[in-house]
């Protein structure tokens, strides 16, 4: 029999062997249906629905391979259910405060390993690709070989038409001129990951930088919102709008209570703690932090009047545990009512979304990417990539397009070739750098409605792209692309060494359509 403190692999193998052999009353048939006819496996599924789906969408066993489930994901989830796990010895213990018993946990594990594949099959990529520069030409700064590129932000100033970047090692903001020569703009306490450019009440340009606080997956609340003048040099003109934020990734502005004062909304991704916060500006120009949804994973928000009532609302991507896209409608009383628009399994690793009208029906569709691969399931996943969900009306969405991209990080849609429809640029920080490094940056040129020709951009040797910005940097009337290179760490493929430039902080892809 199994004791309450038994090696994970031994305890699990005992239960699974009995289940598969039919000793506990199962069927001798093969396949998924046969497994689910086995009482142990069937009960394991019910236990997964009870304990896993209480926090997020229930992940199907087929989403990961057996080894990843048993050795990585399920032991990590056991801690959330109050089980004590001892990875070094392969032991765990169900104590009096555990939400699940030892034997029930074994059945839950048996369900996942019985139905999970030995290995995930790579996705079939439906369209043939074109190896070229599409409508772009490469421009790059001179690499400083004394520096390792750890770029966390690239941002095109839409007012002053300047280029900014930030670096995790140096915790700075760098400004680049038209010849891509760098100059220190401001030293910060941690790396910036988001920038907003606007004019204040006096007409002067200001920049608001969101700093992460820490790259570590930990509950360290050191993120800040730093407001700077356009010169960037005068400390007296800078101010901290907010401090001690839980790993914030983005900040957006609107007058959410219509009192004539600009407010901010912060996406605090956090780790086990985080949330979506409204920084409400008071008459003394100080800010009060009010939680809108206090759960970790808030990563990106878009403001707009989505129900046409004249008040600003929010659409927000949450990318931790209960992953998905939520709508927050302004209740005009100092709060919001929420509605889920899309929901994804917790293993998807949601990374970005954009609201754009792909089919020109006057309704905003959702461009979505998933590909964060830095947690417990560090394997290439065939469902990672870029998706399009068409708006069916009444805030209902239906998937209309998918293109598999390992580790897809972000997608931006705009009319790059200026032919009247939307094209897409994608980057993939967790691309398959062993067998297909070119998927790190792709351009999808739309030929017919929702039919795209993927262009493989030959930029994989210049960097490993973690951030992207798209705008008209040279003011010639078409959209350019800037890619930021985070060249070291977070490598999940065993034995992989950088095949890309580790010193070049960024590159610019100048659009040659005009």
Per-residue confidence (pLDDT) for residue 232, from 0 to 100: 52
**pLDDT tens-digit profile of 390-408?**
999 999 999 999 999 999 9
Q: Give the 3-state secondary structure of residue 110.
A: helix
- What pLDDT is recorded for position 26? 39
| Per-residue model confidence as pLDDT tens digits over 232-259 | 554 446 789 999 999 999 999 999 999 9
Helix/strand/coil for 126 = coil
Q: 25: left (phi > 0), else alpha (psi -120 to 50), else beta?
A: left
pLDDT for residue 488 is more than 90: yes
> Which of the 8 DSSP states describes residue 150?
B
Report the percentage of the chain scoring pLDDT > 70.
91
DSSP 8-state code for residue 63: G
Sorting pLDDT into bands at 50, 70 and 90, what band is 86? confident
In 85-163, which residue ranges form alpha helices assigned H by DSSP?
Answer: 102-115
- The more confident residue out of 60 and 127 is 60
Q: Report whether pLDDT(220) > 80.
A: yes
What is the reported pLDDT for 231? 62
For residue range 326-365, list pLDDT tens digits in order.
Answer: 999 999 999 999 999 999 999 999 999 999 999 999 999 9
Which three-class secondary structure string do you get for 415-449? CCCCCCCCEEEEEECCCCCCCCHHHHEEEEEEEEC
Q: What is the pLDDT of residue 95?
A: 83
For the cut 90, the answer to whether the pLDDT of residue 286 exceeds it is yes
Domains and CATH numbers, the chain: 31-115 (no CATH), 130-511 (2.130.10.130)
Q: What is the mean pLDDT of residues 82-87?
A: 81
Strands (E), 36-112: 83-86, 91-94
Q: Could you tell me which residues are beta bridge partners of residue 161? A: none
Per-residue pLDDT reduced to its tens digit, 418-471: 999 999 999 999 999 999 999 999 999 999 999 999 999 999 999 999 999 999
Tokens describing residue 195: 């920038």
pLDDT of residue 126: 74
pLDDT at 4 over 80: no
pLDDT given for residue 127 in this prediction: 67
Residue 16 predicted with pLDDT over 70? no
Percent of the chain with pLDDT over 90: 81
Best CA proximity match to 463, nearest among 506, 411, 425: 506
pTM: 0.93
CA distance 154 to 176: 10
Strands 451-456 and 130-131: parallel
Task: Report the side by side order of strands in the sheet with 172-176.
Answer: 151-156, 163-167, 172-176, 182-187
Please determine, for residue 14, whether its predicted confidence score (pLDDT) is greater than 50.
no
pLDDT digits (tens, 9 = 90+) for 142-182: 999 999 999 999 999 989 889 999 999 999 999 999 999 99
């Amino acid at each position: 029999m199994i004791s309450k403190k038994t090696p994970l692999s031994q305890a699990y193998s005992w239960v699974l062997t009995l289940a598969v052999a039919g000793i506990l009353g199962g069927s001798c048939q093969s396949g998924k249906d046969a497994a689910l006819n086995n009482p142990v496996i069937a009960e394991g599924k019910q236990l997964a629905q009870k304990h896993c789906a209480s926090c997020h969408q229930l992940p199907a066993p087929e989403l990961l391979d057996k080894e990843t489930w048993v050795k990585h994901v399920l032991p990590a989830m056991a801690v959330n259910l109050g089980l004590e796990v001892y990875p070094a010895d392969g032991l765990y213990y169900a104590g009096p405060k555990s939400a699940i018993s030892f034997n029930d946990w074994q059945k839950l594990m048996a369900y996942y390993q019985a139905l999970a594949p030995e290995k995930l099959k790579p996705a079939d990529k439906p369209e043939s690709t074109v190896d070229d520069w599409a409508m772009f030409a490469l421009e790059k700064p001179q690499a400083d070989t004394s520096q390792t590129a750890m770029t966390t932000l690239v941002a095109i100033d839409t007012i002053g038409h300047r280029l900014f970047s930030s670096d995790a090692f140096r915790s700075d903001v760098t400004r680049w001129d038209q010849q891509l020569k760098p100059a220190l703009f401001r030293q910060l306490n941690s790396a910036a990951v988001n920038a907003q450019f606007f004019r204040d009440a006096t007409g002067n340009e200001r920049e608001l930088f969101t700093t992460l606080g820490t790259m570590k997956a930990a509950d360290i609340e050191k993120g800040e919102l730093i407001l700077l003048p356009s010169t960037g040099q005068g400390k007296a003109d800078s101010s901290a709008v907010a401090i001690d934020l839980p790993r914030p990734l983005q900040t957006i502005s609107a007058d959410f209570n219509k009192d004539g004062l600009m407010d901010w909304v912060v996406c605090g991704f956090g780790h086990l703690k985080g949330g979506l916060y409204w920084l409400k500006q008071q008459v003394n120009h100080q800010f009060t932090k009010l939680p809108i949804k206090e759960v970790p994973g808030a990563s990106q928000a878009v403001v707009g009047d989505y129900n046409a009532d004249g008040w600003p609302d929010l659409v927000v991507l949450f990318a931790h545990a209960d992953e998905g896209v939520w709508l927050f409608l302004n209740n005009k009383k100092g709060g919001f009512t929420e509605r889920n628009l899309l929901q994804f399994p917790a293993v998807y690793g949601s990374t970005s979304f954009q609201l754009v009208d792909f089919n020109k029906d006057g309704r905003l569709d959702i461009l979505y990417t998933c590909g964060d691969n830095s947690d417990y399931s560090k394997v290439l996943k065939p469902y990672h990539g870029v998706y399009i969900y068409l708006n069916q009306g009444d805030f209902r969405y239906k998937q209309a397009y998918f293109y598999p991209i390992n580790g897809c990080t972000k997608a931006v849609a705009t009319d790059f070739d200026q032919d009247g429809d939307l094209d897409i640029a994608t980057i993939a920080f967790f691309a398959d750098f062993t067998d297909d490094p070119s998927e790190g940056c792709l351009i999808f040129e739309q030929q017919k409605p929702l039919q795209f020709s993927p262009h493989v951009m030959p930029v994989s040797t210049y960097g490993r792209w973690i951030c992207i910005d798209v705008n008209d940097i040279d003011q010639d009337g078409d959209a350019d692309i800037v890619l930021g290179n985070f060249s070291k760490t977070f490598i999940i493929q065993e034995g992989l060494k950088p095949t890309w430039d580790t010193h070049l902080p960024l590159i610019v892809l100048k659009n040659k359509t005009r």
